[in-house]
Chain A
């Protein structure tokens, strides 16, 4: 049952109505039954793992209470060992076994461990971390052990989050499972709007961009130049909309039933640095690693070599958490390297930026207009096909830069300080660089192999140009660009405050018009009941 499937809509409608009609004392049992039903609709056998994981964390936490530190540590280790054992067995066994075989092959040692032919249980990476956070919180004394096994089982299997998060903490979700939720019209409608926005991001933006992205990644050697760059950018946005869309649906349906789930994304593409981006991307996972791995290792208040080790360790483990492939490890390592380089070169880069943008700030307003218009006129060579083919993409870039300069001139007229053109341009530049670094790393996230990833990145650097439209209809391609622009516009607006709140303050007809447009927009999505990317993790 996918969140974007008609079956889920029927399931949730029934659960939602029954939930509010039931007396409070029966709700936990009903939600537990609904969550198990939802999970078992994928593969009933894997519910055994859920039960086992719940039992392990339940018993280990109860046994920890009133025991010595040593015993608590032993129980914590046992809980981690067993839960991570499940994860290792289903997700990583074949990966490690294959690599050991290769390694032993090099030194001529026979390795005959057979591969396991198992289907990885959906959501295992998510609910195992959620379960472990409970054990850890009890161990640290952040919360008491839960005595009601039904409530704890619901915490582990809670259906809005079990498949792909957000990864909840026991300190946030567990207390809410014991509270009586009363139907609140505003909260419910607000949750529904979030669900609708999530569906829009998934069905309309992510799945449409996927058409272009799939062409590039299914045949990496066939595309060169600008088409590759667009494909890489589109994939960054696709994965964001896919996962953020999923998270919004999960948070929205939680909200409709009165639960406040943790946010998972905070407009990461408006970040001015990679470390900032990682504070806004998959926040529930990254905060898990921060609290239970990074900070215990010493965090960032350590020497540079130690900081390098800590950062790389967290990033590589985060990469490996996504999938048992070298591509994910490389993706994590690249991001770790970006964060480390960002830290050691931070002061130098800031001084250089300040110097350059201070100089730009001294340029008289008139110069923006003159240079901008000149650049745009120069690029007409491309528009009228007077330039050689290989220079045309560059000409279009000049055209865009020219327009940007003119716009900056308009924005900057009479403004100083934080909103001065130089500051605005500096912020745009930092955001642009961050987005590019992330996008290049994410190539390995999507590529079938490291070799494919390298092929894509090397084809990006060639001067040859393949068809930018990749054989797609021009209107389709333009609609993709339009959707990307729309997403960024929404993100910028969200930075100024909640759009749902803004709409709520408008007159009735405007509100309904906005909701109708959103609903009709969703109908313009791609309906092939495609999986959410993060389901595979």
Chain B
């Protein structure tokens, strides 16, 4: 049996080395969108207090003007919004080690995540570890599960990348160099919108996982003397018959959030429902006009909270 186990382990080690080799050592485009995480972590490390840190998905990256918020509030702003594929658990995990006494943290979770979907992330999480191996240190159990689940698909993608010529990029492809100094994605602002309205979905309830994640974060922030706020994402309500159902679902979710999540809220979901002319390519990503309106609305709602503006 020893001989079998030894040979088997050697074989498995070789297979793992191919897997790791293809994923981590083969050439990769350094301008890939997710690699912007490196700069975002540098921002977290270097941005001086007083500061507000925003965490969330790509809706935050595309539809938020940190400069406007800085000018209005007097706080330095870090926009950590990057990609929904990292999952809510990772958004929280990656920011925790950087929080300092006196920081303000605003959590802006896209609606789709409230029902626990992609809680631990997707393939993006593995891709991020290629550029930013330190991200592995922020993993919790859900992220580890997601990592192993998505290793084979990442291996397949990377392998395909070795053997096929990468498609020529155009201005609509998201890229790392499209972010500004605050972590806002700005490369799309001058482009003509082309909206795909898929994804106008709102769950009716908050999943147990999300509830625990947010309330634990609230406790953590209290201990660290960090003020935590919950902000709502933007959404384009469907028109016609589905609108009533959408508003019912949103109402149900909002009341569930109020019941279950012990975090002060910035406005309500209804303050951030915008018509389709404010969107860029999906119902999560705002265009230039939408971004400006959303930031202005958010600042107005922030004034109504316990947050003290320095200006």
Q: What is A's interface to B at a CB cutoff of 8 Å?
A: 6, 17, 20, 183, 185, 188-189, 192, 512, 515-516, 519-520, 523-525, 527, 529
Contacts and interface: CB of A to CB of B under 8 A. Distances in A.
Contact of A525 (B1, B14, B148, B152): B152
A345 B15 CA distance: 54
B4 A188 contact: yes
Given A516-B11, A516-B15, A519-B11, 4 more contacts: A523-B15, A527-B150, A527-B153, A529-B149
A520 B15 contact: yes
Contacts of B1: 17, 20, 183
B11 A523 contact: no
29 contacts: A6-B148, A17-B1, A17-B5, A20-B1, A183-B1, A185-B3, A185-B4, A188-B4, A189-B4, A512-B11, A516-B14, A516-B18, A519-B11, A519-B15, A520-B15, A520-B18, A523-B15, A523-B19, A523-B152, A523-B155, A523-B156, A524-B152, A524-B156, A525-B152, A527-B149, A527-B150, A527-B152, A527-B153, A529-B149
A20 B155 CA distance: 35
- Ranked nearest first, the 3 interchain pairs of A and B with the lowest CB-CB distance are A527-B152, A183-B1, A519-B15
Interface string B140-163: 000000001110110110010000
Report which residue of A515, A519, A523, A525 has the largest number of chain B beta carbons within 10 angstroms of its beta carbon: A523
Interface of chain A: mostly helix, strand, loop or mixed? helix
B303 to A, nearest CB: 46
B170 to A, nearest CB: 19
Nearest to A189: B4
B144 to A, nearest CB: 11
Contacts of A524: 152, 156, 159
A370 B165 CA distance: 41
A189 B7 CA distance: 10
Nearest to B156: A524
A442 to B, nearest CB: 29
Interface in B1-54: 1, 3-5, 8, 11, 14-15, 18-19
Contacts of B4: 183, 185, 188-189
Contacts of A20: 1
Given A183-B1, A523-B19, A515 B11 contact: yes
Nearest to B164: A475
Contacts of B159: 524
A17 B153 CA distance: 30
A249 to B, nearest CB: 17
B174 to A, nearest CB: 20
> DSSP majority for the B interface?
helix
Contacts of A17: 1, 5
A261 B14 CA distance: 31
B148 to A, nearest CB: 6
A524 B154 CA distance: 10
Contacts of B5: 17
A469 B156 CA distance: 21
B14 to A, nearest CB: 7
Contacts of B18: 516, 520
Nearest to B11: A515
Nearest to B160: A475
A96 B3 CA distance: 56
A256 to B, nearest CB: 10
A375 to B, nearest CB: 34
A317 to B, nearest CB: 40
A527 B5 CA distance: 26
A2 to B, nearest CB: 13
Nearest to B18: A520
Contacts of A183: 1, 4
Nearest to A527: B152
Contacts of B153: 527
Of B14, B19, B152, chain A has the most CB atoms within 10 Å of the CB of B152
A267 B1 CA distance: 33
A4 B148 CA distance: 13
A390 B149 CA distance: 43
Nearest to B148: A6
A188 B149 CA distance: 27
A515 B12 CA distance: 11
Nearest to B149: A527
A20 B19 CA distance: 31
Nearest to B152: A527
A172 to B, nearest CB: 26
Contacts of B148: 6
A192 B7 CA distance: 12
Nearest to A21: B1
A356 B149 CA distance: 55
A421 B149 CA distance: 50
A408 to B, nearest CB: 35
Nearest to B19: A523
A333 to B, nearest CB: 41
A195 B4 CA distance: 16
A327 B157 CA distance: 39
B126 to A, nearest CB: 12
B227 to A, nearest CB: 40
A188 B5 CA distance: 11
Contacts of A516: 11, 14-15, 18
B293 to A, nearest CB: 35
B63 to A, nearest CB: 30
Interface string B281-298: 000000000000000000
A516 B155 CA distance: 15
A192 B14 CA distance: 17
Contacts of A189: 4
Contacts of A520: 15, 18
Nearest to A192: B8
A17 B11 CA distance: 18
Contacts of B11: 512, 515-516, 519
